[in-house]
Amino acid sequence: MTTQLQETAMTNHREFEATQVYQVFIKATPEQIWEAITTPEFTQRYFHGARITVTRDGYRSLGPSGAVWGDAAVLEFDPPHRLVHGWDSLYSDELAQESTSRVTWEIEPQPGAYCLLTVTHDELQNSPKTARSVAGQGWMMVLSGLKTLLETGEPLAA
């Protein structure tokens, strides 16, 4: 985690970082967070409208119009603790040309009724455009929306 913190900090002062770490504290159980990450009914309310289904067999994301936004391998599937999947930005022709990167979700209960959710987007060294597009606000808007949805039952976007 120390390494992650340092990398988080480093994300801040480079143009793009091949390893990006984002953390949010969410007042919800690990099971609730896991469900919100892996089922389309939840993801469409905070992930730019994407309907995302994650199972042991794969990660699939469909845009609101049914276009395939993501179709990648699931590398680790350990509910409700840890999920690792590939990332191809199929929602953009330009970004889709870049190499597959990797996204790791880690859910850790904290003292008190909340959890720390850590999202690590890495293996971006050959995908600078993707790295820039998801950096900072990109992931933070998604994670802010996830937190709002779980804590209030309503999406962030009115």
What does the binding site for other proteins look like in residue numbers (CB under 8 A)? 1-13, 19, 21, 23-27, 110-114, 116, 136-137, 140-141, 144-145, 147-148, 151-152, 154, 156-158
- Write down the least CB distance from residue 32 to other proteins, Å: 15
Q: Which is nearer to other proteins, 25 or 71 (CB)?
A: 25
Q: Which is nearer to other proteins, 3 or 65 (CB)?
A: 3
Distance set, CA 151 to CA 44, 66, 73, 140 (Å): 16, 28, 30, 16
Is the separation of the CB atoms in 117 and 23 below 8 Å? yes
- Write down the least CB distance from residue 60 to other proteins, Å: 26
Is the separation of the CB atoms in 72 and 104 below 8 Å? no
- Write down the least CB distance from residue 80 to other proteins, Å: 18
- Write down the least CB distance from residue 151 to other proteins, Å: 5
Q: Which is nearer to other proteins, 53 or 148 (CB)?
A: 148
Q: Which is nearer to other proteins, 28 or 72 (CB)?
A: 28
- Write down the least CB distance from residue 157 to other proteins, Å: 5
CA neighbours closer than 13 Å in the CB half-sphere of residue 43? 18
Q: Which is nearer to other proteins, 60 or 147 (CB)?
A: 147
